[in-house]
């Protein structure tokens, strides 16, 4: 076996897939351009790191549980002029995560809250932050189930481990006092340690009704809002944007005809 084949075998055993696939062509480039050994090693290891980072990013997004993969580039800010685009772009830098801050999207149904929350969550996952997406209703059901089965601590630790937890649709369904208490425990454990992204269709003044207890609701809000960025969206339903455009297009065509 030649030394060249031995090197390929070593790279395979070390699971350096990209370096192994890149090496044959790169040896020719080294000869042609007279690249130094140290520069060659840097180039090859950089290719491997880039490959592994990309693979890890894809895996992170996949296990995060997003209902869909949206990016900020897909969002039509012109359709929702009430949104401060500069604020959203600042959130996209993800520095709020390093600061242990929360993000709360507030607005009526369909204005783009989940889209924006998901887009920032996807960006966090791509950047190798452990991220998880769950609806408020599903979260409460899982916490309640864990409580009944006497494994609440383990379930709380599960959600606590994520650097970014996206909780969607607070306020769409009522939460009983038991569920509110469990939710409060989770938020308390994450407080000032991890970042939580929230979407809600209810103003904070109505969270007492949402969580069936004013005291618990205020305690939850106190911890969520203390270190937070609030994005309030006022505008038409983002979901019907394309329908409106289609209607206008048909109207223009009819008038032209």
Do 110 and 231 belong to one domain?
Answer: yes
| Residue pLDDT, tens place only, 200-236 | 999 999 999 999 999 999 999 999 999 999 999 998 8
Same domain as 220, residue 143: yes
Among 19, 42, 62, where does a domain finish? Answer: 62
pTM of the predicted protein model: 0.83
Same domain flag for 106 and 213: yes
Kindly list the strands in the beta sheet with 164-170, ordered across the sheet, starting from the edge strand earlier in the chain: 131-135, 164-170, 195-200, 102-107, 228-233
- Greater model confidence, 139 or 69: 139
Are 110 and 210 part of one and the same domain?
yes
> Considering Cα of 79, then 80, then 81, then 84, what sign does the dihedral take?
negative
Compute the average pLDDT of residues 137-156.
98
Give tens-digit pLDDT for 159-175: 999 999 999 999 999 99
Give the model confidence (pLDDT) of 236-254 as tens digits: 886 666 665 565 555 454 4
Query: In this predicted model, what pLDDT tens digit does every residue of 14-26 receive, in sequence order?
Result: 898 888 888 888 8
Position 175 in a domain: yes
Structure confidence at residue 207 (pLDDT): 97
Asked whether residue 218 falls in the same domain as residue 148, the answer is yes
Label the pairing between strands 228-233 and 131-135: unpaired
Q: Which residues pair with 167 in a beta bridge?
A: 134, 198
Whether 42 is in a domain gets the answer yes
Confidence of residue 1 (pLDDT cuts 50, 70, 90): confident
Residue 146: CB atoms within 10 A of its CB come to 17
> What's the CATH code of the domain at 112?
3.40.50.300
Provide the pLDDT for residue 250.
52
Long-range CB contacts (within 8 A, 24+) of 43-48: 44/19, 45/19, 47/18, 47/19, 47/22, 48/16, 48/17, 48/18, 48/19
Same domain flag for 84 and 209? yes
Residues 192 and 147 in one domain: yes
Is 250 a member of any domain?
no
Residues 51 and 152 in one domain: no
Query: For residue 151, is pLDDT > 70?
Result: yes
Across all residues in the chain, what is the average pLDDT?
90
Tally the domains of the chain. Answer: 2
pLDDT value for 237: 83
In this predicted structure, what is the pLDDT of residue 251?
Answer: 47
In the predicted model, what is the mean pLDDT of residues 93-114? 96
Residue-wise pLDDT for 28-87, tens only, equals 888 787 788 788 888 888 888 888 888 888 999 999 999 998 899 999 999 899 999 999
Does 123 lie in the same domain as 31?
Answer: no
Residues 180 and 216 placed together within one structural domain of the fold: yes
From residue 53, how far is each of 66, 125, 152, 223 by CA, in Å?
A: 20, 11, 34, 34
Whether 251 is covered by a domain: the verdict is no
pLDDT value, residue 159: 98
What is the residue range of 29's domain? 3-62
Residue 254 belongs to some domain of the structure: no
Assess whether 37 and 115 both reside in one domain: no
If asked whether residues 33 and 76 sit together in one domain, one would say no
């Amino acid at each position: 076996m030649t030394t060249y084949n031995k090197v390929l075998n070593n790279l395979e055993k070390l699971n350096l897939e990209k370096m192994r696939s890149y090496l044959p062509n790169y040896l020719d480039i080294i000869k042609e351009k007279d690249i130094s050994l140290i520069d060659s090693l840097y180039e090859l290891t950089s290719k491997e790191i880039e490959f592994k980072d990309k693979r890890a990013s894809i895996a992170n997004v996949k296990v995060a549980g997003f209902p869909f993969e949206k990016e900020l580039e897909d969002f039509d800010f012109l359709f929702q002029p009430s949104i401060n685009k500069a604020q959203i772009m600042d959130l996209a830098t993800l520095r709020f995560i390093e600061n242990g801050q929360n993000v709360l999207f507030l607005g009526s149904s369909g204005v783009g809250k989940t889209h924006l929350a998901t887009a920032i969550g996807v960006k966090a996952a791509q950047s190798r932050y452990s991220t998880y997406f769950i609806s408020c209703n599903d979260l409460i059901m899982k916490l309640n189930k864990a409580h009944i089965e006497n494994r609440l601590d383990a379930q709380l630790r599960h959600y606590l481990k994520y650097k970014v937890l996206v909780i969607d649709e607070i306020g769409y369904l009522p939460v009983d006092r038991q569920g509110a208490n469990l939710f409060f425990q989770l938020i308390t454990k994450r407080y000032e340690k991890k970042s939580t992204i929230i979407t809600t269709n209810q103003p904070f003044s109505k969270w007492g009704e949402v969580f069936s207890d004013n005291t618990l609701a205020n305690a939850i809000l106190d911890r969520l809002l203390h270190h937070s960025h609030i994005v309030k969206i006022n505008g038409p339903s983002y979901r019907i944007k394309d329908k409106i455009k289609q209607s206008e297009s048909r109207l223009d065509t009819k008038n032209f005809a």
